[in-house]
């Protein structure tokens, strides 16, 4: 049975803890690491874990992940807002012969939504009359904007549609940019909407999360899947395996 280190003990950390404790799986939480006991991120402590799950803040995520590589511990991260340092992290993973799993969103439903978004973007690619607008709504404690999920959606559109080659977190954009509107409201786990609008009609898809349980369950599944693997992985690797 797996011994899991939770790095970050906020709302997601507690949701993950609840999944592990109530699934009767035999897996256990070895550490609950937060700002008050960051000394447990040392190699001597971390190496006792079979896998780590990291949900913290953008400014600490990279050092947390690299600490896991240095301890030889597979690490799953769902922290968003740090991807400007993606190359640094993945290079360190390879150099350390480590194991890393990243997703902007661990919900199975959201990952189906990603696939639907890409299909729609490709289908609409040659229809020049449409503009695209994205909206994401999250709880007021979420610090980064746009959300990692919204960025993944925008990048999916850019890869599959000819018209758009960039995104901006603003209402006012140029013809080849995707507008992302970010809203923060009390108690909202996450809602994402993608709308293609022309003078004649609007085509809209939306995903609404009702709780954090779907995210937490996906993160636990990813952690258990990652044990004994080497390399850099994401949700498509796990879902298509």
Active-site residues, by number, are 138, 142
Alpha helices, DSSP H, located in the chain: 11-22, 43-46, 58-71, 86-95, 108-124, 148-160, 213-226, 235-239
Q: How far is it, in rounded angstroms, from Cα 20 to Cα 2?
A: 10
**Omega cis (within 30) before 237:** no
Angle at 103 between CA 124 and CA 65, to 5 degrees: 145
**Contacts of residue 130, Cβ cutoff 8 Å, sequence gap at least 6:** 124, 196, 197, 198, 203
Q: How far is it, in rounded angstroms, from Cα 241 to Cα 231?
A: 15
Please list the helix, strand and coil fractions of the chain in percent, rounded to the nearest 5, in that order: 40, 25, 35
In 3D space, the residue among 150, 236, 136 whose CA is nearest the CA of residue 189 turns out to be 136
Kindly tell me the number of DSSP H helices and DSSP E strands found in the chain.
8, 11
């Amino acid at each position: 049975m797996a011994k899991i280190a939770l790095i970050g003990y906020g709302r997601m950390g507690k949701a993950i803890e609840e999944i592990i404790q109530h699934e009767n799986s035999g897996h256990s939480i070895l550490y609950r690491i937060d700002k008050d006991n960051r000394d447990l991120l040392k190699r001597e402590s971390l190496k006792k874990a079979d896998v780590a799950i990291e949900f913290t803040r953008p400014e600490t995520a990279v050092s947390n992940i690299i600490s896991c590589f240095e301890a030889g511990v597979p690490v799953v991260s769902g922290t968003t807002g740090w991807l400007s340092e993606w190359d640094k992290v993945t290079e360190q993973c390879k150099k350390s012969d480590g194991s890393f799993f990243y997703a902007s969103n661990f919900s199975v439903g959201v990952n189906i939504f990603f696939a639907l978004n890409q299909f729609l973007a490709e289908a609409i690619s040659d229809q020049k009359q449409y503009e695209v607008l994205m909206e994401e709504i999250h709880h007021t404690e979420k610090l980064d904007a746009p959300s990692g999920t919204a960025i993944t959606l925008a990048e999916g559109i850019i890869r599959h549609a000819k018209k758009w080659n960039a995104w901006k977190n603003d209402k006012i954009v140029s013809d080849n940019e995707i507008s992302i509107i970010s809203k923060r409201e009390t108690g909202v786990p996450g809602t994402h909407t993608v709308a293609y609008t022309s003078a004649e009609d609007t085509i809209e898809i939306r995903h609404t999360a009702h709780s954090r349980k779907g995210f937490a369950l996906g993160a636990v599944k990813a952690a258990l899947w990652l044990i004994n693997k080497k390399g850099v992985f994401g949700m498509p690797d796990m879902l298509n395996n």
